[in-house]
């Protein structure tokens, strides 16, 4: 049985593992999904596991390229699509247009924080990363907004594709309980436990 704690734990393993999801079945309030964008079998597997194990009233957000939202299987269609407008970059523009907008698919739960300022609910986020780091890292300010909007204070958060551990860092700082999973040893986190 896996526990949601503060400070959170990071497990080294595959988020597709049935053992992982059996161990957290109906235990989490919010799922932060930031999967590898072009690994559609993984995305489908993750969505299946997430929806099978979510407790009533739990919320989910998932980052994707905007053009891939239509690839989400019909039975997992999000309630809403919002966007993160990243700072414009010259990277990856040699053979195509630059991508500086990402879609955030939202499956609303029973909690939506009415106490936050209206500007956090505009549906277009423009947060940027302050320090250089992991290539796919999301800004802590964006992660914190999403957590505070969709998870009750002190709630439990699952991050099945933790990457650089931004969700864990935000949860540790803000009092949320978390459990993160990363498949790679190259994650920029010190405390990894094997599953």
pLDDT by residue for the chain (195 residues), tens only, comes to: 789 999 999 988 888 888 888 888 899 999 999 999 888 999 999 999 999 999 999 999 999 999 999 999 999 999 999 999 987 666 656 667 777 889 999 999 999 998 998 888 888 988 887 666 656 689 999 999 999 999 999 999 999 999 889 999 999 999 999 999 988 765 555 555 544
* Full set of structural domains in the chain with CATH: 9-194 (3.40.50.150)
Q: Are 54 and 26 in contact (CB under 8 A)?
A: yes
pTM summary value: 0.90
Q: Mapping DSSP to helix (H, G, I), strand (E, B) and coil, where does residue 139 land?
A: coil
Cα separation, 79 vs 90, whole angstroms:
32
Q: State the DSSP H helix or E strand holding residue 48, giving kind and residue range, or none if neither.
A: helix 40-53
Q: Are 195 and 24 in contact (CB under 8 A)?
A: no
Tokens of 181: 């999973």
């Amino acid at each position: 049985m896996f526990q949601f704690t503060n400070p959170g734990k990071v497990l080294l393993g595959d988020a597709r593992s049935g053992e992982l999801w059996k161990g957290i079945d109906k235990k989490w309030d919010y799922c932060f999904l930031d999967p590898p964008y072009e690994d559609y079998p993984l995305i489908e597997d993750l969505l299946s596991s997430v929806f099978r194990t979510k407790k009533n009233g739990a919320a989910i957000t998932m980052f994707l390229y905007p053009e891939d939202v239509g690839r989400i299987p019909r039975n997992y269609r999000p309630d809403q699509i919002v966007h993160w407008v990243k700072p414009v970059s010259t990277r990856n523009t040699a053979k195509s247009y630059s991508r500086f907008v990402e879609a955030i698919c939202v499956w609303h739960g029973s909690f939506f924080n009415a106490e936050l300022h209206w500007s956090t609910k505009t549906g277009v986020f423009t947060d940027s990363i302050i320090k250089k780091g992991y290539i796919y890292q999301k800004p802590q300010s964006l992660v914190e907004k999403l957590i505070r909007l969709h998870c009750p204070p002190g709630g439990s958060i699952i991050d099945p594709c933790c990457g650089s551990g931004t969700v864990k860092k935000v949860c540790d700082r803000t009092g949320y309980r978390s459990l993160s999973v990363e498949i790679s040893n190259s994650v920029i986190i010190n405390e990894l436990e094997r599953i």
